Amino acid sequence: MRRPLVAGNWKMHGTRASVAELIKGLRHLALPAGIDVAVFPSCLHIAQVIAGLEGKAMAVGAQNCAVEPMQGALTGEVAPSQLADAGCRMVLVGHSERRQIMGERDEMISRKFAAAQSCGLVPVLCVGETLEQREAGKTIEVVGRQLGTVIEDLGVGAFASAIVAYEPVWAIGTGLTATPEQAQEVHAAIRAQLAAENGEVARKVRILYGGSVKAANAAELFRMPDIDGGLIGGASLNADEFGAICRAAGS
Ligand code: PEP
């Protein structure tokens, strides 16, 4: 049985004051037993969030990392080793906003994935198709290529300590959500692709769904057999809403 994970991606949101408010709200949440919870603040607020959530069972992660594991001459980037030193446990790699706006390619994402793991961080590999790709019937091909690059570069064993997040680009921040059946179809395909290489890794890996998840639709998504929790953007900025999503994962 896979333990559900609810992860909040705060994106480029927050000031010290608003982050302090959010921490206060999160500290008050009664979280269900049997699930994992993580939040991914902006890099600037990681130390504040780690200190603020001390003693609360919530992991903190980063939204991105450098391709090189160790600190060095790479202006503007943050090394996975620095994130680990700061107390991060996880890092998002390949979020669609970084693929689309920052031009990150599969090869670069593989390098970030490897760099993160070499520093003891758990990478959360984000994959997903655009609306155009879905309408062209290419969803499984696109997601398969994004996942396949990491499998080819690092071997399927890399997924023994990693998480996958399926996030259809057309559902991120748009209010449109994949139906539970649409999401399940892709999650099952991701697991099958991993199973073709290693059944045990595929059985154990957690695959999160992301894309306009909120309290009102979380339970029906989390009920699907291959959906092991959610990567939550906008709704994770409201502690009560995030708490309700966590409860849906725990029920
Ligand atoms: C995300 O950014 O990973 C995300 C899923 O955003 P939202 O929940 O706002 O669609």
Position with higher pLDDT, 251 vs 38:
38
Closest among 116, 130, 92 to 8, alpha carbons compared: 92
pLDDT, tens digit, 9 for 90 and up, residues 138-157: 999 999 999 999 999 999 99
Distance between Cα 174 and ligand 1 center (Å) = 9
CA distance 227 to 184: 7
All structural domains of the chain, each given as residue ranges with its CATH number in brackets, are 5-250 (3.20.20.70)
Ligand 1 near 232 CB (within 6 A): yes
- Residue 56: alpha-carbon gap to chain centroid: 20
Per-residue model confidence (pLDDT) at position 199: 98
- pLDDT bin (cut points 50, 70, 90) of residue 251 is confident
Q: Which residues are catalytic?
A: 95, 167
Question: Virtual CA dihedral for 169, 144, 232, 30, nearest 10 degrees?
Answer: 170
CA distance 146 to 223: 25
The answer, as to whether pTM is greater than 0.85, is yes
Averaged pLDDT of the chain: 97
pLDDT, tens digit, 9 for 90 and up, residues 204-236: 999 999 999 999 999 999 999 999 999 999 999
Ligand 1 near 177 CB (within 6 A): no
Distance between Cα 9 and ligand 1 center (Å) = 7
Strands 59-62 and 90-93: parallel
Ligand 1 near 231 CB (within 6 A): yes
pLDDT, tens digit, 9 for 90 and up, residues 128-137: 999 999 999 9
Ligand 1 near 234 CB (within 6 A): yes
CB 148 within 8 A of CB 192: no
Strands 122-127 and 229-232: unpaired
